[in-house]
């Protein structure tokens, strides 16, 4: 069964952004430690910033990507945040592929 994680923000949870930055880092590090990692992680809205050079979580995203987890950035979002050519890891895709991945996944997790 394919598993996809859907991230829509550069922080986890609502309230304090500093805490949210720590939580997203912790969440991704726990994903990295799983024996069975997800097939893909989709980044949309401000979550695409996590894939850029200024990201505080590149230390875990790069090994996740290198282990075979498909890191997918929403192309419209990358353009909106002026991140074309500035992603350090993962790949850019479009909403058609994102919808196909989500509908073909047996499990979709949105933390």
pTM of the model: 0.95
**pLDDT computed for residue 35 by the predictor:** 93
**pLDDT computed for residue 1 by the predictor:** 87
Task: Classify residue 86 as exposed, middle or buried by CB count within 10 Å of its CB (0-12, 13-18, 19+).
Answer: middle
pLDDT in tens, 38-60: 999 999 999 999 999 989 999 99
Contact (CB, 8 A) for 60 and 29? yes
Contact (CB, 8 A) for 98 and 72? yes
**pLDDT computed for residue 77 by the predictor:** 98
pLDDT in tens, 98-109: 999 999 999 999
Which CATH topology does 3-109 take? Hypothetical Protein Ychn; Chain: A, (3.40.1260)
Question: Token pair 């695409």 is at which residue?
Answer: 48
pLDDT in tens, 4-45: 999 999 999 989 999 999 999 999 999 999 999 999 999 999
DSSP H or E run through 75: helix 75-80
Interacting residues of 53 by C-beta distance below 8 A, sequence separation 6+? 86, 88
pLDDT in tens, 47-96: 999 999 989 999 999 999 999 999 999 999 999 999 999 999 999 999 99
Question: Domain map of the chain by residue range?
Answer: 3-109
């Amino acid at each position: 069964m394919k598993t996809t994680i859907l991230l829509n923000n550069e922080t986890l949870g609502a309230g304090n952004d500093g805490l949210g930055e720590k939580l997203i880092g912790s969440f991704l590090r726990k994903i990295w430690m799983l024996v069975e990692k997800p097939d893909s992680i989709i980044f949309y809205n401000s979550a695409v910033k996590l894939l850029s050079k200024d990201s505080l979580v590149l230390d875990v995203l790069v090994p996740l990507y290198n282990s075979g987890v498909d890191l997918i950035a929403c192309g419209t979002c990358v353009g909106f945040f002026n991140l074309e050519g500035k992603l350090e890891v993962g790949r850019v895709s479009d909403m058609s592929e994102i919808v196909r991945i989500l509908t073909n996944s047996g499990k979709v997790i949105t933390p």
